[in-house]
Chains A and B, each alone.
Chain A
């Protein structure tokens, strides 16, 4: 019996006992080696994957939770969480839209989301007219034709171990910070995409079109590899508000761009932000990092963050290849008691590397918004340049907007420019819009959209329209 089988054998005798009922598989509460083995086992992972997880867990045990961030939160008891639970069965899910929260339905209506899609988002079994599975299958066939691999990461571990083994953890190693290491130990599922050499991905990839996409859980892991000369645009999340029982979300996203490849990663996040009094809501502690490994490669992050009680993330680019380019476009909106501490890191290692950061922060209500970023130009990164612009908009005097950029220049041939402004919507602008028949809320929506335009332009077409509406909705009730 090899060691792996032994492990499984041991698990069977595990004192808390694991239920094998497919409908209701759940790891016992708490975080320990057995739980990790359990997850690995259920996913039928090879030995190296389990080792990867255990190595991460070993390190995690010695790590301290960071506390330098601006938004403070009550201490999380990591032993009081479930680290694995299988998707809910159909019986637990709402049967029709009438069972849903009317507030949620109202938001859907404002965003213009079709009925079928509303149902799909809430896991309601959809009828034959809208067969998402068949739509997804057509997409999948087309991708296969081009040799693109796009599947859940657990499938990739089974079917493409050579790729996963080579790249998983190469950008976010198991020796990274607290939440990233936690994710490496217990991640349950996520997306995997591989674009072969010279292929331009014909469509926007999105979890939306992935079979088995439901309930990837709180510890998602995404790995995207763009081989030489390829291009891919990836969409994460959607504009519709997402309800989720899991409070802590600690996902890891790794992007790798080889020579001449380009990855465009767009995120729209609208998770439950808690109620008006700041009760509840999701903690979004995501680690996103892209590596421009090859020459002339490019990684571009675009994010629209409107949800979550606390957003704490810094999508970063490591510009290792010569002539590589990193971009970061962000809109972060906080309302009521939401808090955000977000920004980016641009690490210039290769020659002639360029980076651009455009960040727009809007805070309203009692919220707090922080832009925190790092631009680091290494001594070997000749002729590199960076441009950073971060603008903040404040609505009301109960909220805060902060900018904390770190700028490190170790190279005399490189240039860094940084600008930041903070302002409010001027009375004149509001007056002008209202004079022309817009109500105050519409006027604010219009002005804010103008403020965000530079970033919204970067989003793929379908997304951009919805995101624009989302910006308006997020700020509802913050005027007057």
Chain B
């Protein structure tokens, strides 16, 4: 793999118009990735899923080179109907279009030459990989007091032209004071056996609101890793919803730093897995100042040979008095071969806090099924009804009515 990655890297550098210092920085990131490799079970964060093994088993040789010189054809059929929206279209690892047609253009800036900072961040080798190979990093800023009229949809599309490739995407968002943004990530995969590595960084200033919904629904044989870093100032609100279902393997990480008083973070997620899928969500909420709030709810429905894992951590600094943190994970195991792992973690250094977590896993309640069947439903219907109710609970947490209804329709939940 190391030979492959080095030659691919040189190929990219040759075709790029990067400055000398940028190349130097990229090299540094590459070296860092080569040194650490793909994360494996040996790392505490990857205990439940060994990415190194998964890539070896499912993809084998991964290629890191992507020919970005030719634009890909945008297939408008994949767009969401009946809801006007702004778009970022990302096809086969290339950003084809950024379109804010519904907005006041003065209030949004798109910087396509954004330089990422020169620091090798902690030990996340996937971030190094991302930094080394992303060809362009966009920074989207929402100006002060501006609330977007329409939501922003990010279409992640892969067509069958690519196979066994590593695709990287990096986006920076800055929400200035009193601004508001809704981002919906939609995955459309027709390609197989690729490794997608996505990094988002959100910078939330005073009183701003961010809502991010990630929908991975379409069945596909790809491996996905997505990392959201959210920095929050005073009174800001972030809401993240993850629907984790389509990919063969997927890991979503959300890291939230509550840096300002009265800021709050909400993370909700659903795992709905079938045929040998393996998914994971990891959340880290850092309460760093007084009077911050976080709430997390993760629910899993697990079919045959599937495995889901939830690692959630609430960290409370000694300064962060009056923190309110809550975390709940629930799982229904439908088959003898399904597996649920959880590590709900609390790390608390302040005494005047209200923090709790809960985790429960088990089978569908036979009594409830009996109750429904005695009222005329057949077994399958009763099962579906119970699962529907179980998952609806999470979707109901979505605060945006428009999006909530869209997601309900998309994943087929009934009220």
Contacts and interface: CB of A to CB of B under 8 A. Distances in A.
Nearest to B48: A408
With most chain A CB atoms within 10 A of its CB, the pick from B345, B346, B360 is B346
Contacts of B362: 409, 412, 414-416
B345 A403 contact: yes
Contacts, number: 115
Interface string B348-360: 1111111111111
A397 B361 contact: no
A91 B168 CA distance: 75
Interface in A375-421: 379, 392, 394-421
Contacts of B343: 404-407
A415 B346 CA distance: 22
A417 to B, nearest CB: 5
Contacts of B351: 394-397, 399, 424
B342 A407 contact: yes
Interface residues of B, number: 35
Nearest to A413: B363
B333 interface: yes
Contact of A399 (B349, B356, B363): B349
A423 interface: yes
A170 interface: no
B341 A394 contact: no
Q: Is the interface of B mostly helix, strand, loop or mixed?
A: strand
A422 interface: yes
Contact of A419 (B340, B348, B358, B361): B358
A68 interface: yes
Q: Is the interface of A mostly helix, strand, loop or mixed?
A: strand
A404 B335 CA distance: 27
With most chain B CB atoms within 10 A of its CB, the pick from A402, A407, A411, A416 is A407
Contact of A68 (B44, B321, B358): B44
B330 to A, nearest CB: 10
A425 B336 CA distance: 44
A416 B345 contact: no
B164 to A, nearest CB: 31
A409 B333 CA distance: 9
B359 A417 contact: yes
Interface string B315-340: 00010010000000001011111111
A421 B361 contact: no
B356 A422 contact: yes
B347 A409 contact: no
Given A409-B361, A411-B336, A412-B333, A394 B356 contact: no
Given A397-B318, A400-B349, A423-B354, A415 B360 contact: yes
B336 A404 contact: no
Contacts of A417: 358-360
Contact of A402 (B331, B348, B353, B363): B348
B362 to A, nearest CB: 4
Given A409-B340, A415-B362, A424-B352, A402 B357 contact: no
B344 interface: yes
Given A68-B44, A398-B318, A411-B336, A420 B352 contact: no
A397 B359 contact: no
Interface string B146-176: 0000000000000000000000000000000
A426 B333 CA distance: 39
Contact of A412 (B338, B352, B359): B338
Contact of A405 (B334, B344, B350): B344
Contacts of B358: 417-420
A423 B343 CA distance: 20
Nearest to B356: A421
A335 B358 CA distance: 27
A420 B342 CA distance: 14
A419 B339 contact: no
B347 A400 contact: yes
B347 A416 contact: no
B359 A421 contact: no
Nearest to A390: B346
Nearest to B365: A415
Contacts of A408: 339-341
Nearest to B313: A404
Contacts of B333: 409, 411-412
Contacts of A395: 351
17 contacts: A394-B351, A397-B321, A399-B349, A401-B348, A403-B357, A405-B343, A408-B340, A408-B341, A416-B362, A417-B358, A417-B360, A418-B358, A418-B359, A420-B344, A421-B355, A422-B346, A423-B354
Interface of A: 68, 379, 392, 394-424
Interface of B: 44, 318, 321, 331, 333-363
* Nearest 3 interchain pairs by C-beta: A415-B362, A412-B333, A394-B351
Given A379-B337, A409-B333, 17 more contacts: A68-B44, A379-B336, A395-B351, A397-B350, A401-B346, A401-B348, A405-B344, A405-B359, A406-B342, A407-B344, A407-B359, A411-B333, A412-B362, A414-B362, A415-B361, A418-B357, A420-B344
